[in-house]
Amino acid sequence: MFDFEAYLRGVIGELKDEGRYRTFVSLAKIKPPYVETEYGLVTNWCSNDYLGMSVHPKVCEAAKITLDKRGVGAGGTRNIAGTHPEIINLENTIREVTEKESSLVFSSGYAANEAALAALGRVLPDCVFFSDEENHASMIRGMAASKAKREVFRHNDVNHLRELLSGYPSSIPKIVVFESVYSMSGSFGDLVPLIETAKEFGALVYVDETHGVGLYGEKGAGLCQELGVLEFVDVIQGGLGKGYGVIGGFIAGSNLIVDTVRSFGSAFIFTTALPPMVCAAANASVRHLSESQTERALHRRNVKLLKDKLKGLSVLKTPSHIVPVMIRDSFLCKQISDRLLNEFKIYIQPINYPTVPRGEERLRITPTPLHSEADTDHLVSSLRAVIPQTIQLAA
């Protein structure tokens, strides 16, 4: 008989031997960026709550009011009992902010990508996806689930994309899929030439703005809005749990595209809807960031401050708000993370394979508007104390 316990023990043992075994630290927010842990009060430097909107008074108040009025759960999927006024209001706000005809909310950004890409690839006859090689796992999963053909172009390589597109007749439906902000490298998608090339070949453009919405654009609709190319993007996908500080995901596009995903997206159809209080909180966050520039201005100031102070360390030079400090060794990356927590009360999770390629292990730092200059100085001095001199300059 097959020994399940022994086999799985070996699988987990391999993770531990390679230094890739993940451990979780319980983080109880007190006043961000400070959290209470078993190690005492620590400063969180790796949260995806990029703007601190999870504790914004408007967001919290919206959740409290709606909780008292509607209770906790949604009551079912959207088709059964989960279509409530708060989710409709949220979709209307997203539609306005993204300047699209329609939008659809999901339980997560992952579910949004999986459902949308799987539905489009399955419905469109002989559809071919053209996917950036660094696209997120949720996008890859959605394309795979559709069973449509997928061509992979080198990261941000417009010439390679053009070469692949030119290999298919104009009668074949094509979808070019890429991200605006790549969350582990901090790089931007080369949006303008990628979109222009896709349109030249009559392809739909699908952009994952999960790490861009809230943070970029006059209304917070993302990098596409900031660069003035939003009107040329057919589907914008975004997250509600990062720049917006709540939870969930969405797509926005034409009425027909969104209706197709609503009608054929399994991850949408068979998933319980987001609760009213969550949708109300998300709506308050999206609405606030469509009108306020304060959070984005403070955020960019703090990102620049940290990047300036980190000069001389092995930091990837990125245009975004994500600051990767390269370690390039899984054991060392975990060791540095542990020392930062135990000795300096700084929380930064190590980023190891398979999230990044082997040899590309890193600490992924995400400044927020809530970090003080004193927090930044403490982080920089602590990093210099724990990162070996031999790799401090090896960016």
Q: List the domain boundaries for the chain.
A: 17-46+293-392, 56-291
Residue 126, CA distances (Å) to 174, 178, 236, 342 in order: 9, 20, 23, 55
Class of domain 56-291: alpha beta
Please report, rounded to a whole number, the percentage of residues in the chain having pLDDT higher than 70.
Answer: 99
The predicted-structure confidence for 316-367, as pLDDT tens digits, reads as follows 999 999 999 999 999 999 999 999 999 999 999 999 888 899 999 999 999 9
pLDDT at 395: 46
Give percent of the chain above pLDDT 90.
Answer: 90
The CA–CA distances, whole Å, from 38 to 55, 150, 286, 341, 375 equal 22, 46, 34, 10, 20
Q: How far is CA 60 from CA 11, 55, 56, 281, 361, in A?
A: 42, 6, 6, 6, 36
Distance CA 331, CA 352 (A): 9
Same fold, 17-46+293-392 and 56-291: no
Strands 40-44 and 34-37: antiparallel
Residue 281 pLDDT greater than 50, yes or no: yes
How far is residue 268's CA from residue 274's CA, in Å, rounded to a whole number? Answer: 11
Model confidence at 391: pLDDT above 80: no
Q: Which of 242, 304, 311, 317 is catalytic?
A: 242
Name the residue among 183, 178, 131, 179 with its Cα closest to residue 152.
Answer: 131
Active site residue 58: no
Cα distances (angstroms) measured from residue 71 to each of 64, 74, 96, 381: 10, 8, 27, 47
Residues 6+ apart with CB under 8 A from 279: 66, 84, 86, 87, 89, 90, 105, 248
CA 314 from chain centre, in angstroms, equals 24
Binned at pLDDT 50, 70 and 90, residue 150 comes out as very high
pLDDT tens profile 120-141: 999 999 999 999 999 999 999 9
Could you tell me the fold of the domain covering 17-46+293-392?
Aspartate Aminotransferase, domain 1 (3.90.1150)
